[in-house]
A and B are shown apart, each in its own frame.
Chain A
Amino acid sequence: MNLEELHFDNGELKASAPPDHFAVFGLPRTLNLDEAELEQDFFALSRRFHPDFFVTKSADQQILSLKKTSALNNAYRVLKNKISRAEYLIELETGVAFGESGEAKQVPTELLSDVMEIRERIMDFDGEDSQRAALQRDKIWAQQKQSETDTEINRIAEGWNDATKADLISDLKDALSERRYFSGLIRDLGKASD
């Protein structure tokens, strides 16, 4: 353990929380970031801290290089994609992982009944051509809806800053919740009808 990671809390020595994924890259917590730039930073930092460069160093140095490399990998995996980045940001801002809050946030009933109907069609599918055609239409519909939520997420990302985030977080949660329905449908429609 690095000594800088320890601090006193009410007279007790405690390990401080590891830096968040944004801090690993020296970035502010934001939705909108340049993914190409992030990739370049990831490669550059991974090279600089690669354990291969530390084989002749002390055991402590070797451990730190491993830890840094693993933190970089974890951070990059979450941040490189806008959806996982958005979900992570919600966890940072609210302290609760997206999807585990169990809050009674309602998705519109109309959307639920559309999803239910498509789920029933997937379940009833037994290889018939007309059913397959219906599933393919459903898939196009779901892709269309998913791209609408992506547009909405982009809109939120563009307006996202420290002053607006408190207001935008619930819009972002709604958009991400709806998007999960569509991405789940696209996945299962593909499995059933392709």
Chain B
Amino acid sequence: MAYSEKVIDHYENPRNVGSLDKSDPSVGTGLAGAPSCGDVMKLQIKINDAGIIEDAKFKTFGCGSAIASSSLATEWLKGRSVEEARAMKNTAIVEELNLPPVKIHCSVLAEEAVKAALEDYDKKQAARAATREVREPELVGVV
């Protein structure tokens, strides 16, 4: 099966490979695995107070299409709002990379990783809000 030029480009020069600090509350970390091919993908996003994705990194151990899909996803995510990221669909990756039907699951993997990263970010934000609520009365008491 022939890979498209864009897949080869992302595979040979992957964008945004690396890691962000997963304990940072402004960082969301998502993991996704391709059932039955042993691929694993980690995608991280760093979101600023304005709700804009400042940085995105990935590490993917899998086939060329999985690497290209996650590379493209991080490139696309940077500078977008959280809302735009939530609406991201794998079909956009399929079109951009011209993925053949047997490789569509690689783009699904990237979409799942983005969703998981957003969920992780949401969880961290909720936990932060919860501790704030608990602390505030104490602060009032101190003041």
Q: Within 8 Å CB of B36, what residues of A?
A: 98-99, 101, 105, 173, 176-177, 180
Closest to B116 in A: A109
- In the complex, whether B105 has a CB less than 8 A from a CB of chain A is yes
Q: Within 8 Å CB of A36, what residues of B?
A: none
- In the complex, whether B85 has a CB less than 8 A from a CB of chain A is no
- In the complex, whether B46 has a CB less than 8 A from a CB of chain A is no
A101 to B40, CA, bound (A): 17
Task: Say yes or no: B37 contacts A106, CB within 8 Å.
Answer: no
Task: Say yes or no: A112 contacts B35, CB within 8 Å.
Answer: no
Task: Say yes or no: A102 contacts B40, CB within 8 Å.
Answer: no
Which residues between 82 and 136 of chain A lie within 8 Å of chain B, taking CB atoms?
98-107, 109, 111-113, 115-116, 119-120
- In the complex, whether B31 has a CB less than 8 A from a CB of chain A is yes
Closest to A100 in B: B102
- From B33, B36, B61, B102, residue with most partner A Cβ within 10 Å: B36
Task: Say yes or no: B35 contacts A181, CB within 8 Å.
Answer: no
> Residue-by-residue, is B28-59 near A (CB-CB < 8 Å gives 1, otherwise 0)?
00011101111010100000000000000001
Looking at chain B's contact residues, the main secondary structure is mixed
A120 to B22, CA, bound (A): 15
Which 7 residue pairs of A and B lie closest in terms of their CB atoms, listed nearest first? A102-B105, A99-B36, A184-B38, A180-B38, A105-B35, A107-B33, A112-B31
Contact A104 to B108, CB < 8 A, known contacts A109-B31, A116-B31, A120-B59: yes
* Minimum CB–CB distance for B87 against chain A, Å: 18
A113 to B33, CA, bound (A): 10
Closest to B102 in A: A100
Task: Say yes or no: B32 contacts A102, CB within 8 Å.
Answer: no
Which residues between 91 and 126 of chain B lie within 8 Å of chain A, taking CB atoms?
102, 104-105, 108, 112, 116
Partner of B40, one of A105, A116, A173, A176: A116
Given contacts A99-B37, A180-B37, 9 further A-B contacts (CB under 8 A): A101-B35, A101-B36, A102-B104, A102-B105, A105-B36, A112-B33, A116-B61, A181-B38, A181-B40
Which residues between 165 and 185 of chain A lie within 8 Å of chain B, taking CB atoms?
173, 176-177, 180-181, 183-184
A119 to B105, CA, bound (A): 21
Closest to B107 in A: A102
Closest to B19 in A: A120
Q: Within 8 Å CB of A103, what residues of B?
A: 35
* Minimum CB–CB distance for A112 against chain B, Å: 4
A124 to B32, CA, bound (A): 21
A190 to B104, CA, bound (A): 30
Task: Say yes or no: B105 contacts A115, CB within 8 Å.
Answer: no
Q: Within 8 Å CB of B108, what residues of A?
A: 102, 104
